[in-house]
Structure 1
Amino acid sequence: MQLKFRFKKNRKGSFPEERKDRTEHLPIETAKVPDVLIFPLGMHIGAPAEAVVDVGDQVKMGTLIGKGKDGISANIISSVSGEVIAISERDTMNGPGTCIVIRNDHKDTKEVPLYEKKETLSADEKLEIIRKAGIVGMGGATFPTAVKASPNPKKPIDTIILNGAECELYSTSDHRLMIEHAEEIIKGARVVQEILKAKRIYIALEDDTPDCEAALEAAIEDHSDIEMIVLPTMYPQGAEKVLIEKITGREVPAGGLPADVRVFLMNVGTSHAIHEAVNHGLPLVERVTTVSGDPVAKAKNLRVRIGTPINALIEECEGFVSPPGKLLHGGPMMGKPLASAEVPVTKGTAAITFLHPEETEREEQTDCIRCSECINVCPVNLQPILISNAYERGDIEESERLGAMDCIECGNCSFICPSKIPLLDNIRGAKAAIKAKNAG
């Protein structure tokens, strides 16, 4: 019998108004596939993939077009059949980057499966399939899954956490995936459990998703070693370090990784992709994405081919009822503003959000009143105002000493600040400066 825990609320978070009502009850729809798709070679954390096709090449749906480099990197797979028409610099969610552009022939001619079907696969073979499939963290982190799931005898994993705590304000892509594909998500977790030889699996949800809870309860009915954790709805409940500490009582050390405390945490979308790859031989060529925001005429949860320009999703949602003021890759709390709707959907695109102009107006900044609210709501126990101050006076070493690199960029500090100090922007600036300093 599965155990189901419920946690009491604590202060290390905030309670911004959620805007999920337009899409949380909408089934996933399959988006139309556009005529031209764009595949950034750097759509994951780590080294960009290396193009293995040339302009003029014909590709199939499932053809390897970008090969992951040694170390931290991931394969890029074509999500359509057609012709490579360009390999050039394009706008991406991370700024300008090299992209492979493919003209879709709309035939969906499929590449051979990732592996030849046989009765059993070893754990090593399953890990290799995950690598070949190009799977990365699909909650937005985009860390290559095959690297993360590679067993390390020095850091054995005993616990797997399935992250279904979808806390970004508009996003319901994970919500719908859990309702419509609960069994497949569990099967994906079992694959990782076999690879890592982990003893237990937890599923983490927030308490405002009883429909997800019901679907997953049914899926784990015969799985005695899987436990469901129901957490209070709070932002950022789904943050990696937050979940690990609440569920296991283990604290990921500063500058450390979940593996340092014997935990493997993955988004439910990642688990679903692992199931599709290992149990059906399908590479990662599509994902579920929520397109929402008040300016959008018909907000939707869409199954989208990777490489689809955001422009095509706007058309899919019947355009706008009012002019948007900002386009976000993600949501208002952690999302990145985009200057162009030609930017494509990538493996980490859980949501595309459009905001009204008045929602994007920055209120006038005033001096810090030393209320300590940014410290109170920081889920990883940093002092955001001190990091921000150090960055503004150019003291990058002090920003680093204060733990800027441990910031999870949740945006709680900026959200809660009564003085409207751009704390998150400053901390992101500090992190970029620290990386540049250390790289030099």
Structure 2
Amino acid sequence: MTQHTEIQQHKIAVIGLGYVGLPLAVEFAKLYPVVGFDIKEERIQELRKGKDTTLETDETILQGRLLQKNPHTAAKPGQGLYVTNDIEELRRATIYIITVPTPTDKHNRPDLTPLIKASETVGTVLGIGDIVIYESTVYPGATEEDCIPVLEQISGLTFNEEFFAGYSPERINPGDKQHTVTKIKKVTSGSTPEAAATIDELYRSVIEAGTHLATSIKVAEAAKVIENSQRDINIAFVNELARIFNKLDIDTLDVLEAAATKWNFLPFKPGLVGGHCIGVDPYYLAQKAQEAGYHPEIILAGRRLNDGMGAYIASQAVKLMIDNDCPIKGANVLILGITFKENCPDIRNSRVIDIIHELQEYGCTIDIADPWASPEEVMHEYNLPLLPTIDSIQHGYYHAVIAAVSHNEFAALDPRPWLAQQGILYDVKGMYGKDIADGRL
């Protein structure tokens, strides 16, 4: 491990330049020579022009850190970021950080394919004494049981003798400009005490909020997966309250506002639970629990309830339409927002699609407006077009407007002019007052 005891000697490679990898690579590039790798040619070309469509990095800072040549091959490597999709450009690195997505398949089973392929990539260039750090969300044991064997097989090197590993879970919150990568405390871990110390020191050099060195890789993995599982369960609770209070003709948001006056009440709100973390991580923990012979009750109950909210919202909107004597089959419905959260372009695992599919089952015609989402990505991911702009929304045309995502642009508008006579407004996020919305969670 002696070659890694001096921080100044680190040559870092970040594998995966998405919402997690790019901000991390940009921060490390302040102090170290960094090579950022992504398999998507269009992503590399975009970044080389200093553009970031995820909006997670300041493009002025990104442009200031970009290098035109690989700093690892320079006679005197200096700090900066070089981006590439050429595997050979990774070969001189000494620290490999893997930040690829870990999704679930259509049956909600963990899909480690991106992680395994990234491990294969690193295995082809791994050298003696190198350290591989995983940041992708996984179940406890995945690093050592699923990833390390791939690294050993491809590289021909022996784990904890010729190369080392660590796990430092990402805590990026897409669209959040306050809790950015350097301002969130970082959990670290390593496969040996020496590797753990090196990894912790590495992250402490750029993370302003500091680090927490976990006692093992499995502890760090488990800590990450329960962070979002806890939020998922809490949101499931308030989603169930919303269903109950709806039957009792009580406004849920009024109840939550009253309850929040107690000092230790947790201020969760009902809504759709999507994205690449909260809507996915509980399935990773549940999978591992079931492999160990335990069937998780609360975790999966929360998932079932949250996964059913799209269909519930659609049914509530349809009931309001019927009450207003609106047609259902052939009704024109406007969906405000397709991203998984407000003021963010990320459409991964957006549960707004559940509302859309359910309304399509009723025979409704759907239009979608979203100033944050990429039309090309929405078409690729969901095979759905977006309206060109908010200004292109027709007035007096829609039998229902469903405000699904609380982008600032939507919150600043009055959607009622878009409604046809007797049309309804269903407010998923509580953007509008009760005097404006016909229904809300």
Tell me the TM-score range normalised by the shorter chain: under 0.3
More helix by share: 2
More strand by share: 1
With the length of structure 1 as denominator, give the TM-score of the two structures.
Answer: 0.25
The structure, 1 or 2, with the larger RCO (C-alpha pairs under 8 Å, 6+ apart) is 1
Larger Rg: 2
